[in-house]
Amino acid sequence: MAKGKREPQSFEEKFRALEEIVEQMEREDLPLEELLDKFEQGVGYLRELRQFLLEARQRVERFVEMTDQGPVLKEFVPPEEEGVAAEPGEEDAEPSEEAWLEEPDDGEEEGEGEDDSSGTIFD
């Protein structure tokens, strides 16, 4: 990125910045050092975008499962029916929408044990 420009923050901004880098690398006769800098920057954006998409996919999979007939919403099971004890004084409280979107903190990450990376950035 040129000095004085702010770093892209949102998914869309990072995607546009990556597209811009690719276009510059394809059309400009850049010195090798500048080309390498742009490549490193692009790889950084690509990794961030890939991580964002992976997390988004995991959030969707908490509520939807793929079947032979296509995507199907999973049956909603309140935490108290899953064997999760409610906090004292919260038995009658409705959980907030945000609570259902949070990742479970059971000490084990979803997909742990699966090697999802193939060692390349172009999966």
pTM of the model: 0.53
Structural contact between residues 14 and 48, judged by C-beta atoms closer than 8 angstroms: yes
Q: Is there a domain that residue 13 lies in?
A: yes
Output the CA torsion 15→16→17→23 (10° steps).
110
Q: Is there a domain that residue 18 lies in?
A: yes
CATH number at residue 32: 1.10.287
Q: Is there a domain that residue 96 lies in?
A: no
CA of 13: how far to CAs of 36, 37, 38, 56, in Å? 21, 19, 16, 17
Q: Is there a domain that residue 58 lies in?
A: yes
Cβ atoms within 10 Å, residue 1: 13
Q: Is there a domain that residue 52 lies in?
A: yes
Q: For the chain, how many structural domains are there in total?
A: 1
Q: Is there a domain that residue 49 lies in?
A: yes
Q: Is there a domain that residue 105 lies in?
A: no
**Tens of pLDDT, residues 19-31:** 999 999 998 788 9
Residue-number span of the structural domain to which 29 is assigned: 1-79
Average pLDDT over residues 110-117: 49
